[in-house]
Chains A and B, each alone.
Chain A
Amino acid sequence: MDDEIDISLTVNETERHLSVSPRLLLSDLLRHRLGLTGTHVGCEQGVCGSCTVLLDGRPVRSCLLFAVQADGTEVGTIEGVANEDASLSTVQQAFSDNHAMQCGFCTSGFVMSIEAFLRAVPDPTDEQILEVLGGHICRCTGYQNIIAAVRAAAQKGVGV
């Protein structure tokens, strides 16, 4: 019943070919099969947001996707966010400048959502920012510095 299925997907612009069990979650494929442990697993219910990755450019919960469903797609994770020269992206730098992370567990999920959001909505209202950030839980920071980081990154501009 659980026969493995061959899939091909692009992860952070690199083509990957794997054979997976249908029940393997995308979050577990990324972390355990590809060693990309920057994507975190907090709830496996879709609530906490720490597993958020980009699927064909859209922020989605990798814990609620089966790896087989990602066949033929482009997946973006936190490991692919920094610039080619390894300098931090505008959003990452804004997180650093604004002390928007403490333990860091929620951070990669937040960054993925924000990277996509600021490309879609370069000049967001506070309400729009809160709507997007509302999809992520942080136990450390109290969120204010994260909001400040989003405003700072929007101010600077994230490019395409």
Chain B
Amino acid sequence: MKPAPFKYICSTSTDAAIASLAEYGDEAKILAGGQSLVPMMNLRLARPEVLIDINRIDELGVLATHDGLRVGAAVRQADVELSADAARVAPLVVEALGHVAHPQLRNRGTVVGSIAHHDPLAELPMVAAALDAQVVLASSRGSRTVEATQFFTGFLSTVAEADEVVTEVYFPALASGITTGFSEFARRRGDYAVVAAAVTLRFDDTGTISDTTIALAGAADRPVRCRDTEATLLGQVATAEVWREAGAHAAQASGVEPPSDHEGSSDFRRSLIAGVVRDALARAAR
């Protein structure tokens, strides 16, 4: 099938894109990588009347690594994945990118686009939640910053209004000594996750856990931060038993309500969640 007709606007500045969005509102969709949007348009599951192409806006193509990881809306996933500086300041983002689709799709897909689109089984929204990333939205009414865990509201839904464009996502620098871990269960490499976990860990001088974050994909209709499980880990030492218990706790954590569908039952997903949390924590502690 082919896409329905639309008006095409190629913006050359963020202000121009915002003005077009203000004019067309919910008739318009932003076109960045297009690796999620265009398949939907090809199937006519999406029929935007206007496409606002932001790929040629120079200021949105900026990837900054001097203070955490700041990714503009037009930055390709491949460029972040292959950036040594990005790997140094945000290893969890770079590691997760290796699991996002395939290299050919990452050549066009954008980090910001994956987060703005919000498929809850995608890797990057979960990583944004694990790292308390900040999502910057702009419109003719000004700009605002929303924390990742507040940004996602449901399947393909976020707090972004019809006239707002996500211009960048900022992953704050990890404090010294923080390590990260990632684990995904999928049918094949590159598939959306069935479940996945992204974690951060910090140990204090006595070798006990002083800080941790645990985020899940596939546990609900948005990334889930297992804050209760995080609390149980504080003061613990790194042992296989501690990771196993944390996994079991996360599988039943508040907010963890995995669906039952053709991929498996809710209980099956809970057992997978226990596994990926245990696995991600063990990797972070290595």
Interface residues of A (CB under 8 A from B): 1-3, 5, 21-23, 25, 28, 44-46, 49, 52, 55, 58-61, 63-66, 68-69, 113, 131-132, 134-135
Contacts and interface: CB of A to CB of B under 8 A. Distances in A.
A63 B102 CA distance: 15
Contacts, number: 93
B104 A52 contact: yes
B39 interface: yes
22 contacts: A2-B5, A2-B6, A23-B3, A25-B2, A25-B3, A25-B42, A44-B42, A46-B38, A49-B102, A58-B107, A60-B104, A60-B108, A61-B108, A64-B34, A64-B38, A64-B42, A65-B34, A69-B34, A69-B53, A131-B189, A135-B101, A135-B103
Given A46-B105, A134-B190, A135-B104, A64 B39 contact: yes
Interface residues of B, number: 32
Interface string B31-73: 1001100110011000001010101000000000000000000
Instruction: Give the interface SS of chain A, mostly helix, strand, loop or mixed.
Output: mixed
A132 to B, nearest CB: 6
B5 A45 contact: no
- Looking at B2, B38, B188, which has the most chain A CB atoms within 10 Å of its CB? B38
Contact of B42 (A45, A58, A134): A45
Contacts of A64: 34-35, 38-39, 42, 105, 108
B37 to A, nearest CB: 9
B156 interface: no
B215 to A, nearest CB: 25
A135 B34 CA distance: 17
Contacts of B188: 134
A61 B37 CA distance: 13
B190 A22 contact: no
A135 B1 contact: no
B103 A22 contact: no
Contacts of A45: 39, 42-43
A159 B53 CA distance: 36
Contact of B7 (A22, A52, A66, A134): A22
A134 B189 contact: yes
A99 B101 CA distance: 28
B5 A1 contact: yes
B268 interface: no
Contacts of B5: 1-2, 21-23
Given A64-B38, A65-B108, 16 more contacts: A21-B5, A22-B7, A45-B39, A45-B42, A46-B101, A46-B105, A55-B108, A58-B107, A60-B108, A64-B34, A64-B108, A65-B34, A69-B53, A131-B189, A134-B102, A135-B105
